[in-house]
Amino acid sequence: MSDQEQTVTASAAATAVLPEGDDPPRREVKMVCQESARPAILSFLHTHALGVREVFPPRRVQSIYLDTHDGRSLSDNLGGIGERDKTRFRWYGDRADKVRGVLERKMRRDDFIWKERFVVAEEVAVEGQNRFAFVQHLRAACSHEWLARLSPDMEPSQWVVYDRAYYATGEGKVRITVDHRVRLFDLRDRFILTPKFPTPVPDLCILECKAEPDHEPMLRAFLNEMPFVRDRCSKFVLGCAPNHFTTLTHFPE
């Protein structure tokens, strides 16, 4: 079977088995290197033959990841379960006292990923908030449909902060994000949500390349030119289990 036929088959299968969400299903590949190599990586992207361009201004991303008390999401990820999900409250910018954000459920089924989103209409207090009051506030702001997705035993697990730049190939078929200044704060033993006690992790630069199934040939062509080892990399898992580290490519600076 040709690459094109395989792509069409994968696309049809994804359409058939994946429920409709706010994002179409896509394939996602991550690569990690030392943060000091970021200027060289950006130079590599800017001179790429596929005409990589910036498609959105850089911004700070903050997320509170939710997990059950017994760590179901963490266990599923570490175990490589093919059908799993992660839930988070995400917002943008430096503020953390009262913010407007989005509840996201990131779904995975084998090699395909998609997201479901719910915009929280009111401000949510984060920093300094009681962990249980934080979840109760989110549940109170949810639609009936989303309330069913937040199991009663979900609690704050990780506070993740990083700076993200957004790129895409000339025709927009492959999207690339570059994350750096990654900071992780373990909330599992905190009664009050606080970013004052960071988890010690290496200074990282994380590239994430994404494409819908129809555009997988271009994604593969793009990845084949990237001097990286491809591996799983979840900031949520890195915060929960720092010793369970991904492969770090030492990119030439």
Query: What domains can you pick out in the chain, each with its CATH number?
Result: 19-240 (2.40.320.10)
- Beta-bridged to residue 187, according to DSSP, are none
Report the C-alpha gap between 120 and 138 in whole angstroms: 8
Q: Of 107, 62, 113, nearest to 86 (Cα)?
A: 107
The dihedral built from the CA positions of residue 35, 39, 42 and 43, taken in this order, carries a sign that is negative
- The Cα–Cα gap between 113 and 174 comes to 15
Q: Please tell me the distance from the alpha carbon of residue 23 to that of residue 202, in angstroms, as a whole number.
A: 31
DSSP 8-state symbol, 79:
T
Q: What is the pLDDT of residue 242?
A: 83
**Local structure of 174: helix, strand or coil:** coil
pLDDT, averaged per 10 consecutive residues of the chain (253 residues), comes to 38 36 78 90 86 94 96 87 90 95 90 89 95 94 88 93 95 93 96 96 92 90 77 85 74 68
Give me the phi and psi of 194, to 5 degrees please: -145, 145
Return left, alpha or beta for 36; rule: phi > 0 is left, psi -120 to 50 is alpha, else beta: alpha
Residue 68 token pair: 């059950």
With beta carbons less than 8 A apart as the criterion, state whether 249 and 36 touch: no
Q: What is the pLDDT of residue 12?
A: 36
Residue 186 confidence (pLDDT): 97
| Residue 230: per-residue pLDDT | 67
In this predicted structure, what is the pLDDT of residue 245? 65
pLDDT, position 99: 96
Handedness of CA 33, 228, 178, 7 (dihedral sign): negative
Helix, strand, coil share of the chain (percent; to 5): 25, 35, 35
What confidence score (pLDDT) does residue 82 get? 80
